[in-house]
Amino acid sequence: MAEQQVSYNEDNIRSLDWKEHIRLRPGMYIGKLGDGASSDDGIYILLKEVLDNCIDEYVMGHGKEIHIKIEENSAEIRDYGRGIPLGKVIDCVSKINTGGKYDSKAFKKSVGLNGVGTKAVNALSDYFLVKAVREGQMKVAEFKQGELLKEHPVTKTNEANGTLVSFKPDNGIFRNYRFHRDHLENQLWNYAYLNSGLKLNYNGQVIVSKNGLYDLLERKSKNEDLRYPLIHLKGEDMEVAMSHGNHYGEQYYSFVNGQNTTQGGSHLNAFKEAVVETVKKFYNANYDRTDILGSIVAAVSVRIEEPVFESQTKTKLGSVNTAPEGGQSIRTFVGNFIKEHLDNHLRKHPEIADALKKRILQSERERKEIADIKKLANQRAKKANLHNKKLRDCRLHFSDSTKKVAEDMRLATTLFITEGDSASGSITKARDVQTQAVFSLRGKPLNCYGLTKKTVYENEEFNLLQHALSIEDGMDDLRYNRVVIATDADVDGMHIRLLMLTFFLQFFPELVRGNHLYILETPLFRVRDKQQRFYCYSEAEKQAAIKKLRGKPEITRFKGLGEISPDEFSAFIGTDIRLEPVIITESTDIDDVLSYYMGKNTPERQDFIIGNLRVELNEIETEAVDAPALETADVED
């Protein structure tokens, strides 16, 4: 058959204006879209772009307070800086590559240097308002999807100088989105920690920090049993807080010019290297790198000129120098700071030095104890032909299962952890083979609460799973951005979900803290007639669907993932996927949570379950409505 000829001429060439390009390719500007379930979803990037401008004003010495009002689907931010020059208000939010950040003297160490931020917010919002106040005068402009709706004339005002931005993200782009309070508070607290003295008024709650990263780490680790008091090191352009605990893995909070670099980068790599070298030299011992960094918890912040990030969302620093011209290398800058200040601190505080040494030696003993078991487990994983049997990988990893996927590609990947061949078969047939992988569990996992890391290597299921995720030696090589527990919505499914949560919280809490772990929500009911069908995730949604249909609807109660046909399943794991993030907040005591739900306090849990069951039954009775006679159908293929 002859190949179809595709024309290519002048008619195929298109020129897009700024807002059309942003709306057509939003991922280039704000990373992934999402519905707000993940902390790096686009709606939080929009918020960050506006807040970054406010922070830059504060850093320059203008305005000590920011007012933030956020509802479920909209946001309003008001700073008290100098305010956008009134004659350039519209240009600054609607003309690409326009802004004050190009003047490096005014914003020498700003995070927003590309002149894109607020333009992206404007283009991707269903409604966008900007108001600038300067010296008794005010300028307001309103937009819709980047298009100017109304330009208000300059008027007199008694308001204080500053800028107000109000926006409502476009639901056509961010489908079914909502701002999650946990993610918002974490984002705002980070701004406070990095800008000591700045007052953030968030929906009436005042967020402020006096001691910077010391406060951050104290808050983050208040439920952690730290081995020694927090070490706090602060210089002109670098700040560090660190300690060691008893948890598994390494835990870092890294920042560049106030930006939370969740994926780390050159500055964090330099910090790890410098800590290892400094500790070895201080104790005059050739300790293993993993023993020095094992169980570390640290916050690292640097300020450099014109940082280069690996994407527009600025989650990973790519800069190798502290300034584009004439700056020293990041490695040297960070290395010199740590070697001087950490060494001095250990010499001044011998009790801390002793505690750190004991932690290193304990890590060394534990590592050597499981060395043989680990070796055998790795051999078993290799013989199991993991990537062809237990794991149905996505194509991004097919070419070379050990090669690290490019960061922007990895952010799109998801691993579904399923129970049994039936459920994994349905998801496998319905998934996007480019970015979605499936790992099939065999039977119920082990309750690993209170057990040691040795368990991971001795238990075949756990060992194969950690190899599939490539997290044996930390999160740096994590192969999937989202790890989704996909179990049936019945008692057995809930139990398996709880056992998997225990596994990750016990041995890989950094995976959870990094906002990589989710629960897949799947519909409990299908309500349909000859014209319409609704998939319902709760009793309330089912009752609402019944009201929308006329006549005698058919109701199907889905009993398990394996009983949902692949054609239907594709709707639940595609663009409309519902994910519930597993979030660890500062108030979460992991050991207390695990001991309550997975320990031996059976009577206490029984009372908890019975009490909540009564509440649930009362809610269902309240939601019940008079409905036509219903026909209950079994699940069909």
Contact 19, 145 (CB under 8 A): yes
Q: Per-residue confidence at 614, pLDDT binned at 50, 70, 90? A: low
Q: Which of 317, 345, 368 is the last residue of a domain?
A: 368
Looking at the predicted structure, is the pLDDT value of residue 237 above 70?
A: yes
Which pLDDT score is estimated for 295? Answer: 92
Same domain, 358 and 378: no
* Residues 182, 219 within the same domain: no
Q: What is the band of 571 on the pLDDT scale with cuts at 50, 70, 90?
A: confident
Q: How far apart are CA 572 and CA 519, in angstroms?
A: 13
Burial of 282 (0-12, 13-18, 19+ CB in 10 A): middle
Same domain, 491 and 404: yes
Grouping H, G, I as helix, E, B as strand and the rest as coil, residue 401 is coil
According to the model, what pLDDT value does residue 106 have?
Answer: 47
Tell me phi and psi for residue 268, to 5 degrees. Answer: -70, -40
Assigned domain for 629 exists: no
Are residues 518 and 412 located together in one domain of the fold? Answer: yes
CATH code of residue 185: 3.30.565.10
Euclidean distance between CA atoms 620 and 618, whole angstroms: 5
- 550 is a domain residue: no
* Whether the Cβ atoms of residue 426 and residue 565 lie closer than 8 Å to each other: yes
Q: Which helix (H) or strand (E) holds 163?
A: strand 162-169
The boundaries of the domain holding residue 140 are: 18-205
Q: Residue 159 corresponds to which tokens in the numbers above?
A: 């308001």
160, part of any domain: yes
pLDDT at 29: 83
Q: What is the DSSP string of 348-363?
A: H-HHHHHHHHHHHHHH
Which of 205, 234, 268 finishes a domain? Answer: 205
Whether the predicted pLDDT of 102 surpasses 60: no
Higher pLDDT, 189 or 376: 189
Identify which has the larger pLDDT, 272 or 12. 272
Residue 56's pLDDT band, with cuts at 50, 70 and 90, is confident
Alpha helices by DSSP H, listed for 115-253, are 117-123, 181-194, 213-220
What pLDDT score does 280 carry?
Answer: 97
Residues 364 and 388 in one domain: no
Inform me whether the pLDDT recorded for 96 exceeds 50.
yes
Higher confidence at residue 226 or residue 559? Answer: 226
Do 170 and 82 share a domain, yes or no? Answer: yes
If you average pLDDT over every residue of the chain, what do you get? 85
For residue 626, tell me if it sits in a domain. Answer: no
Whether residues 362 and 457 share a domain: the answer is no
User: Are residues 196 and 218 part of one domain?
Assistant: no
The residue-averaged pLDDT of 167-177 equals: 92
- Look at the chain and report how many structural domains it folds into: 3
For residue 239, what pLDDT is reported?
96
- Amino acid 620: pLDDT: 46
pLDDT digits (tens, 9 = 90+) for 313-352: 677 888 888 887 767 899 999 999 999 999 999 999 999 9
Does 191 lie in the same domain as 91? yes
Q: What is the pLDDT of residue 385?
A: 58
For 416, the 3-state DSSP assignment is strand
End-of-domain residue from the set 144, 172, 205? 205
The pLDDT value recorded for residue 122 is: 94
Look-up of token digits 């319905």: 430
CA distance 627 to 552: 9
User: CA dist 370 to 365, 374, 375, 471, 473, Å?
Assistant: 9, 6, 9, 17, 14
